[in-house]
Amino acid sequence: MQLSDIKTVGVVGGGTMGFGIAINFALWGYPTIISDLSADVLAGTKANINHALQLFVEGGLIGQPRADETLARITTTTDLAQLAARSDFVTEAIIERLPDKQALFKRLDELCPPHTILASNTSRLVLSDIGAHIGRQDKLVLTHYFAPPHIVPGLEVAKGPGATDETFEITCELLSSARKIPIRVRGEKSGYLLNRIQHAMAREASQLWAEGMASAEDIELGIVSTFGFRMPHEGPFLHYDLAGIWKWPEDVRNPRAIENEKLREQMLKAQPWFVDPANFEEAVEKRDREYIRRLKELYWEDTDR
């Protein structure tokens, strides 16, 4: 199987995530079928899609003809069998409840043609549980989007326990063809990769709020205006590089106290992750130019220069 064999995609669940996931595929040329439990829900799904596309047009992302074509590529049904029969790739975005997801994957496995890849958008569950009762273990993947999924470019992709490299690669190619940025996750854990990182911050923020360290407003503002401000440019690894933390004396960085052996060895090297030390100054200047552009755009737009 190759990417060109994916002609039509299905999205099961037309809620907060499903409608946006459908927009991505349809926007980039894939006829897309959405199924949900009732015609009433699907009417809401269609209305949400229409509204989101209008915002794309108003925002200058696409023109009205492209919005119309996208809308025309999307159909809805309450009949899962209809979706399954026509879909080469199905994304599940239903309620986050294991028995419901297991039952759905079992039905999809029975109803879809043998080549169809089945993807879950689960936030907390794992594929070995969701797909425990299906035959096509080789075609089970995670495609975990971030809300709003029709706008946020990155998402994480992981293999089910028996999934092949081919399934994984086609999934990544499919998402790239819809202008998404697939982040390749190698293992399986609840929350996989990015939600674990995201939730670590959310957990600490709410705990500190509960302890009375700061108001919710100040915590929010603090995150957005400090490391959140930097985040479009750098994550923790590039930050370690550009802040020059790797240059600090060993007794200040204290790498020997790190329990994980792999990480301890990495930190003992006292080297940046990505930046070539010979180009350090240049990389810092490039960062600063980017930050100044963003400072001007986000915070200084109304000041008299």
Ligand X SMILES: NC(=O)c1ccc[n+]([C@@H]2O[C@H](COP(=O)([O-])OP(=O)(O)OC[C@H]3O[C@@H](n4cnc5c(N)ncnc54)[C@H](O)[C@@H]3O)[C@@H](O)[C@H]2O)c1
- Given its phi and psi angles, is residue 234 left (phi above 0), alpha (psi -120 to 50 degrees) or beta? beta
Minimum distance, C-beta of residue 148 to ligand X, in the bound complex (Å): 8
Cα 253 to Cα 272: distance, rounded to the nearest angstrom = 13
Which is nearer to ligand X, 48 or 246 (by Cβ)?
48
User: Three-state SS for 169?
Assistant: helix
> Cα dihedral angle (121, 127, 133, 139), rounded to 10 degrees?
80
Minimum distance, C-beta of residue 245 to ligand X, in the bound complex (Å): 32
Which is nearer to ligand X, 41 or 178 (by Cβ)?
41
Q: Which of 302, 278, 303, 24 is nearest to 154 (CA)?
A: 24
Cα 194 to Cα 123: distance, rounded to the nearest angstrom = 10
Which is nearer to ligand X, 106 or 239 (by Cβ)?
106
Cα 136 to Cα 170: distance, rounded to the nearest angstrom = 16
Cα 156 to Cα 184: distance, rounded to the nearest angstrom = 6
Radius of gyration, CA atoms only, the chain: 22
Minimum distance, C-beta of residue 35 to ligand X, in the bound complex (Å): 6
Minimum distance, C-beta of residue 37 to ligand X, in the bound complex (Å): 5
Q: How many residues comprise the chain?
A: 305
Which is nearer to ligand X, 97 or 296 (by Cβ)?
97
Catalytic residues: 123, 144, 156, 195
Residue with the CB atom nearest ligand X in the bound state: 15
Which is nearer to ligand X, 147 or 208 (by Cβ)?
147
Minimum distance, C-beta of residue 112 to ligand X, in the bound complex (Å): 14
Per CB under 6 A, residues contacting ligand X are 12-18, 35-37, 41, 93-96, 100, 104, 121-123, 144-145, 147
Residue 89 carries which DSSP code?
E
Question: What are the CA-CA distances from residue 128 to residues 108, 134, 162, 163, 193 (Å)?
Answer: 16, 10, 9, 10, 16
- How many alpha carbons lie under 13 Å from residue 188 in its C-beta half-sphere? 15
Which is nearer to ligand X, 190 or 279 (by Cβ)?
190
Cα 269 to Cα 274: distance, rounded to the nearest angstrom = 13
